[in-house]
Structure 1
Amino acid sequence: MAVYTVAQVKINDGERYEKYRERFGAVLQQYDGRLVAADDNPVVQEGQWSYEKIVILEFADLDAFNAFADSESYREIAAHRHAGADSLILVAKGR
């Protein structure tokens, strides 16, 4: 069953976040992940939202996502995201 990640991001240090973004696609591809959507200015339809960017990814299943998230290559670039942005990441099972 496919899983989707929804990352909500607020960038605090553009240079550090850019180091993450530059390498993200190659790491995602190594784990057969798929970028579904990325929007630097999503429309808030309802409620309050304190982030500024949203990224939605798809993986074949939870094991595939965990392999990606736990990989050395992702942890290496994630350090730049942690230093350059505040983020909230959700993982949801598809139907």
Structure 2
Amino acid sequence: MPAYIIVEIEIHDHETYEGYKKLTLDTLKNYQGKFIVRGGKTETLEGEWAPERIVVLEFPTKEMAKSWWASEEYAPAKAIRQSSSATKMLLVEGM
């Protein structure tokens, strides 16, 4: 069953965050992950929600998604993201 990581990001240091974006793509390959949404323009349809940046990643399974998130490959990029932004990250199973 596919799994998705949904991330809401508020960037505090845009210059440093660019380094995160450059590193992340290569870390997904071993986990068969891919970007579905990567910072595209958003439009609020209901409620009060105006995120600065939304990212959605797809993985074949939730186990692969969690393995990627905890991996040594992703750790340097994760450290950059955590130092340059505030994030909310959710793992959800697909259909």
TM-score by length of 2: 0.92
Partner of 2:89: 89
Residue in 2 that maps onto 1:76: 76
Which residue in the other structure is 1:39 paired with?
39
Q: Which residue of 2 aligns with 1:14?
A: 14
- Contact 1:41 / 1:52 at 8 angstroms: preserved in 2? no
Q: CA deviation at 1:40?
A: 4.3
| Structure 1 counterpart of 2:17, one-letter code | Y
* Matched pairs, number: 95
- Counterpart CA distance in 2 for 1:29 and 1:49 is 32
**Which amino acid is 1:30 matched to?**
N
Alignment RMSD: 1.2
> Quick one: percent identity of the two aligned structures?
28
> Corresponding residue for 1:28?
28
- Give the superposition deviation at 1:63: 1.2
Q: Which runs of 5+ in 2 are unaligned?
A: none
Q: Which moved more, 1:61-70 or 1:42-51?
A: 42-51
Normalising by structure 1, we get a TM-score of 0.92
Distance 1:43 1:33 in 2: 25
- Deviation per CA, 1:46-80, whole angstroms, max 9, x where unpaired? 11225201011100101111110110111111010
Residue by residue over 1:8-67, the C-alpha shift from the partner in whole angstroms, topping out at 9 and shown as x without a partner, is: 111110122111111111111232101111234311111122520101110010111111
Stretches (4+) displaced over 6 A? none
Distance 2:44 2:50 in 1: 10
